[in-house]
Chain A
Amino acid sequence: MAEPVLEIRGLRIALPKDSDRAEAVSGVSFSVAAGEIVCLVGESGSGKSVIAFSAMGLLPKSLPVVSGTIALQGENLVGASEYRLRELRCTRMGMIFQEPMTALNPVMRCGDQIDEVLRAHTQLAAAVRREKIIAMIAQVHLPDPVRMVDSFPHQLSGGQRQRIMIAMALVLGPSLLIADEPTTALDVTTQAQILKLIRELQRDRGTGVLFITHDFGVVAEIADRVAVLQYGELVEMGPTAQILSAPQHPYTRMLIASVPSHTPPARPPVAGAGDAIVLSTEALAKTYSTAGLFGGARKVDAARDVSIEIRKGETLGIVGESGSGKSTVARCIARLIDPSGGKILLCGTDIARMPAGRLRELRHKVQIVFQDPYRSLNPRRTVGESIIEGPMNYGLARHDALERSRKLMELVRLDPGALERYPHQFSGGQRQRICIARALAMEPELLIADEAVSALDVSVQAQVLKLLEEIRHSLHLAVLFITHDLRVAAQVCDKVAVMSKGIVVEYGPAEQVFRAPQHEYTRALFDAAPGRGFEFAAA
């Protein structure tokens, strides 16, 4: 066998002294051959990104390589000079990142950003460089390459920006491409296209790819071989089909079992919940308009003609890609923003245009859990203070509010003693449990979960979803579940509304929508979901 493009042997990378473990990466060895895609899979904190950055020589000084070798086509990069590393970047190894929205310099034209690579590493004349850039942009299938060269990143969509990043990383034809969660921030349909593009370019050029991801769906789509990382250690490695269908290590088995299935389970209605309608909307609409001084107003329909209905003990999922209007609907229902038309009936009362004073009485009935548990709790307040603030605003005595918060902590499976601690002392999953407790402290009728599990690792996600299920059963809560993740929606929703461009294109029982989608957009969405052909959790 020919020399591997990347060969990592016994790599150890230290963590700063006060961390929860001594090493970010502990003795990891693997290799990537030319023309091969190796996926590094693991949950957050597993050290997968640290390995990627160490190969590029982009690790901060606080994470030093202690021992081991990283060989790029036989050349050891550990201990290589900053100058040599700079020479190798983009010429022999290129990298693309997770966030295409922020990975490009916002004040520089896309063409210039690619041009920088050529100017830094070649002596080519300006005209030749421009030709090369346009050819490369055409290769990543961007429309109108000549115009793309002169456009700024903010004029492009997330998928287009990621294509520019790929063009930048591959313009000099490196033998190794490191892709750090390149599709995580993208919509499923865009993700499918980008994965296809990476596959295509990699095949044509024989590039070795080190692909970092947490998503087993993506692994199933793209990987030749898979390496599973846990706490900085490589626990299992092998060909993709073997790892996915016959995982050996218990951690790998647990991870794969946590991936929600695309097939909705049978969901009997919650016993004793009755069928009272908690919330319904009639032709709900939200239009944003920016008025110019001399006319020329711009109107955007964020949501149009949305009519949905949620009963006690029922979960309605709103599924859609970014910009589909699903969050707008959630925010209108919670009256965080004012709808521009239609009705919102909360327990029979229309709150769509209710003035703030009267609305206050009803506010506690609708509570939201947001996507990012790291930013939705006040960092300078103890968790207990955050939980009791709401009920105390509604007149509950401090003592009683504290009593309630202790009970809720038990309900969300956290130690009531932890009420005195601050948010940064908890993990992401724990924080999301706290956010749920905070919402429940208001004793709501309707709980809105706005991408509430999207930022969590699969194993944690599975736990939080289980918790939400339990709560729905014990409290007969109506839940509005906003998500872009079809697998999650399939598991937790009784009914599903699929939104696209502000309109509900399909609405019905989850089982029916998933089994036989009627609308072409729904079908496209389902087809784009990674790892479709692979049934993970045999539920």
Chain B
Amino acid sequence: MWNYIGRRILATLPVLLIVAVLVFLMLRLTPGDPAAVIAGDAATSQDVAEIRAKLGLDRPVVTQFFIWIGRGLQGDFGESFFYKKTVASLIADRIEPTLALATLTIILATLIAVPLGTLAAYRQGSWIDRIVMGISVIGFSVPVFVIGYVLIYVFALQLGWFPVQGYQRLADGFGGFLHRLILPSITLAMVYVALLARMTRTSVLEVLNEDYVRTARAKGLPNLKVLVFHALRNAAVPIVTVIGIGIAVLIGGVVVTESVYNIPGLGRLTVDAVLARDYPTVQAVILLFSFAYVVINLAIDLMYTVLDPRIRY
């Protein structure tokens, strides 16, 4: 087991290195010069060259890479070109909204989708099944920003139940924090509800035909117990996989939602940094995303051993 965890963590290093190289190169190969952006429209080429030298961008790309990687290994990801702060503190400021949004989204999506999917499987072919599958088609096909604006129009502008935009820190009160986060989370959750409900339905359906479900019924257990302890419990592995992938994809996918609801999270930071050619920030954020992805995948694999005693590493 520990053997396995050790190997998996070692295996993440090459992945992270490749990501680092790719991000670094891509930023420098795309057109646009951060020095020019910083200097502004009125600057002379003299000014731009000075700024460039100050940021170290006049040196060869390979040298720049090794300086960045060398410092990065010591935990120093440099200073943002624009915010005049270290990248580390910038990320620390922005990570809470993103984590909060992603967490609430996944919790909502799981709470809605797993019971719906199980119910749809149990009543396969009934009207419940057809409604659930219909909703999931809508969830798949309507773009996130459309759902976002429709929800704002209905629940914020017309009904006035929720604020239109903005974010409140958790430290400033849980009620306000949750109140402002609900609409963005529902927006983001829609597509995951669709995906997860379908996945749950399929795996539960498969398991419902298993012999041990018949055994459970032959024992005289009530239907709910058969469904939860025998069917759902055995269908859990693929469902958890999708939830895990959901978390990973979400962290990268909050960009649109954060823009629509004006939430100062990592997604917004990434967009702003890319537009401004803020190299250190973009590099650090993307590296962080890939690290999160790798860790979540490891966590999912370890979850399997809890869910299914037959799986041992």
Contacts and interface: CB of A to CB of B under 8 A. Distances in A.
B152 to A, nearest CB: 43
Nearest to B237: A107
Contacts of A95: 218
B308 interface: yes
Contact of B309 (A91, A107, A117, A120): A107
Secondary structure dominating the interface of B: helix
B211 interface: yes
A209 to B, nearest CB: 15
Contact of A152 (B210, B216, B219, B310): B310
A116 B310 contact: no
Nearest to A100: B211
A292 B2 CA distance: 13
B119 to A, nearest CB: 18
B118 interface: no
Contacts of A293: 3, 7
A287 interface: no
Interface stretch (A16-24, A81-89, A256-264, A298-306): A81-89
Nearest to A112: B229
Nearest to A152: B309
B64 interface: no
Contacts of B219: 89-90, 116-117, 120, 168
Contact of A107 (B3, B214, B307): B307
A533 to B, nearest CB: 33
A1 to B, nearest CB: 29
Given A86-B220, A102-B210, A292-B3, A108 B229 contact: yes
A107 B221 contact: no
B3 A90 contact: no
Contacts of A196: none
Contact of A97 (B3, B211, B308, B309): B211
Contacts of B309: 106-107, 152, 154
A10 to B, nearest CB: 25
Contact of B218 (A90, A105, A106, A121): A90
Contact of A56 (B7, B212, B218): B218
Interface string B203-223: 000000011101111111110
A105 B3 contact: no
Given A106-B308, A116-B221, A121-B220, A165 B212 contact: no
A103 to B, nearest CB: 4
A89 B215 contact: no
B217 A106 contact: no
A103 B7 contact: no
28 contacts: A58-B214, A86-B220, A86-B221, A86-B222, A88-B220, A89-B218, A97-B218, A99-B211, A102-B212, A103-B214, A103-B215, A105-B212, A105-B215, A106-B234, A106-B308, A107-B233, A107-B308, A107-B309, A107-B310, A108-B230, A116-B216, A117-B220, A120-B219, A120-B221, A120-B222, A152-B309, A293-B7, A294-B3
Given A97-B218, A102-B212, A116-B221, 19 more contacts: A86-B220, A90-B220, A95-B218, A102-B210, A103-B211, A103-B215, A105-B234, A106-B308, A106-B310, A107-B308, A107-B309, A116-B219, A116-B225, A117-B220, A120-B222, A154-B309, A154-B310, A165-B215, A168-B215
7 pairs of A and B residues whose beta carbons are closest in the complex: A89-B220, A102-B211, A105-B212, A103-B211, A86-B220, A152-B309, A95-B218
Interface of A: 56, 58, 85-91, 94-95, 97, 99, 102-108, 116-117, 120-121, 152, 154, 165, 168-169, 292-294
